[in-house]
Amino acid sequence: MAKGFGRPGMGGMGGINMNMIKQAQKMQQDMQKMQQELQEKEYTAQAGGGVVEAVVTGKRELKSLTIDPEAVDPEDVEMLQDLIVAAVNEAIRKADSDAASSMQQITGGLGLSF
């Protein structure tokens, strides 16, 4: 083995490995911070022209559901159910999209999936 090769502080592979480890640790810290921030965010979506509104958290939990009384038709409960499902699913899609976008920024397109 060449003199100094692979020893930390002596150039060679040791220096590269330390740099990679530091970068990985920074990325991990950034990801943890970003995940915490995302969990605290809220995402809102509407359906039926705004008669149903759903708010979900970054944890993908339904926080609130608002239904305009005009959307309540005892003769057409299925329509209201569909509007609720559509609003909740769209709010969850927004949360997922925001999380994926944030992860892409941190990982720099390394192709990591979370």
Q: Where along the chain do its domains lie?
A: 12-107
For 12-107, CATH gives 3.30.1310.10
The count of other CB atoms within 10 Å of the CB of residue 52 is 23
Which residues make beta-bridge pairs with 41?
none
Higher pLDDT, 24 or 88: 88
Tokens of 5: 């090769």
The residue ranking higher by pLDDT, 107 or 78, is 78
- At which residue do the structure tokens 């995302």 appear? 38
- Distant-in-sequence, close-in-space partners of 107: CB < 8 Å, separation ≥ 6: 27, 31
Q: What is the pLDDT of residues 37-72, one digit of tens each?
A: 888 899 999 999 999 999 999 999 999 999 999 999
Cα–Cα distance, 41 to 23 (Å, whole number): 27
Helix (H) or strand (E) holding 105: helix 77-107
- Sheet order of strands, 62-67 included: 42-47, 52-57, 62-67
pTM for the complete prediction?
0.69
Residue (of 24, 65, 29) closest to 47 by Cα position: 65
Nearest 5°: the CA angle 101, 105, 106 is: 120
The residue that leads in pLDDT, 114 or 51, is: 51
